[in-house]
Amino acid sequence: MDVGSAALVPRRVSSPAEAREVVEQEGAALVSGILDEDAAMDFGRAMLGDELVRIGRQIEATRARAETEGAVVERQPVDARGRKRQLSRDTTVPMPPHNDGFAFGDEAPDRLFLLQARPARDGGDNFLIDGLALADLLPDDVARFVRTVPVDHSEPGFPQPECSPILRTTPAGRPQVRHHPYLAPALGPDEAAHWPMVRAWLDAVVAARDTGARFRMEAGEMAVVDNYRVFHGRHGYTDPDRLLYSIWGWTTSAVAVPHRVLDIVNPVQPAV
């Protein structure tokens, strides 16, 4: 099982219309010449066009911010299962591959814009993993589990109301595949039996990161990502000047669109 083949190096595109088409077909695209966060937002609006519902700034990723926000999360308690939440406080190690906004369940954005404002001088290469391609590489029992068995997508301490399969079809008919390090079986009598399947998925995604292709984004380059299909992250770095902006977009085919700014440090769910 060559899971590394699910790693995706985004194809370079030159216009918002081409970006939309390539992201729909291939899961991600790369654009250049994006001067700042406002230009990134403008590109996103032009690309999503008539599908756009909401677009907004989300994260300014730097080493200093990873350390301060990581310290806040460090003080959050262990949950009832003994799980502890962590942000990627130590930037010298590779990030866990993830969909952005995974803590928010159905409200996670379906489109993601990662603008490399300043690359690290010492690493920080980017990676993308095509979750749909990876699901096709799994052994049959794991592939069946991923597609059919509801699991718990909550982050420790921030429960989500419902379990759902790792790979599901959304009401709009789009595939959505999820990965983050806290995935766990649904609580109940099958929990112990389901752990090996969940673990196999987590291990396959991390192996895809560690054995697959990576790429470097220079200043002004932006990855445009189908956040329902592709997991992202970066390898380790120490450069305090590295700066990457993360912008989240929701389209008319998103499962749910939040009506508030989402706070990843404190990802509480709205009162129903």
Interface residues toward Fe ion, by CB under 5 A: 100
Rounded Cα distance between 233 and 242, Å, is: 14
H-run or E-run covering 72: helix 63-74
Nearer to Fe ion, 103 or 254 (CB): 103
In the complex, least distance from residue 60 CB atom to Fe ion, rounded to whole angstroms: 12
Rounded Cα distance between 127 and 216, Å, is: 9
Nearer to Fe ion, 130 or 143 (CB): 130
Rounded Cα distance between 152 and 120, Å, is: 35
Nearer to Fe ion, 97 or 185 (CB): 97
In the complex, least distance from residue 129 CB atom to Fe ion, rounded to whole angstroms: 12
In the complex, least distance from residue 100 CB atom to Fe ion, rounded to whole angstroms: 4
Residues 6+ apart with CB under 8 A from 91: 63, 66, 124, 236, 237, 238, 242
Looking from the CA of 144 toward its CB, the CA atoms found within 13 Å total: 4
Of 123, 113, 121, the closest CA to residue 56 belongs to 113
Nearer to Fe ion, 100 or 110 (CB): 100
Nearer to Fe ion, 88 or 164 (CB): 88
Looking from the CA of 215 toward its CB, the CA atoms found within 13 Å total: 18
Nearer to Fe ion, 88 or 251 (CB): 88
Question: In the chain, what is the straight-line distance between the N-terminal and C-terminal CA atoms, in Å?
Answer: 43
In the complex, least distance from residue 193 CB atom to Fe ion, rounded to whole angstroms: 31
In the complex, least distance from residue 108 CB atom to Fe ion, rounded to whole angstroms: 11
In the complex, least distance from residue 98 CB atom to Fe ion, rounded to whole angstroms: 6
H-run or E-run covering 42: helix 37-48
Nearer to Fe ion, 87 or 204 (CB): 87
Residue nearest to Fe ion (CB): 100
Residues 6+ apart with CB under 8 A from 99: 108, 178, 179, 180, 227, 228, 230, 231, 232
In the complex, least distance from residue 168 CB atom to Fe ion, rounded to whole angstroms: 21
Residues 6+ apart with CB under 8 A from 173: 253
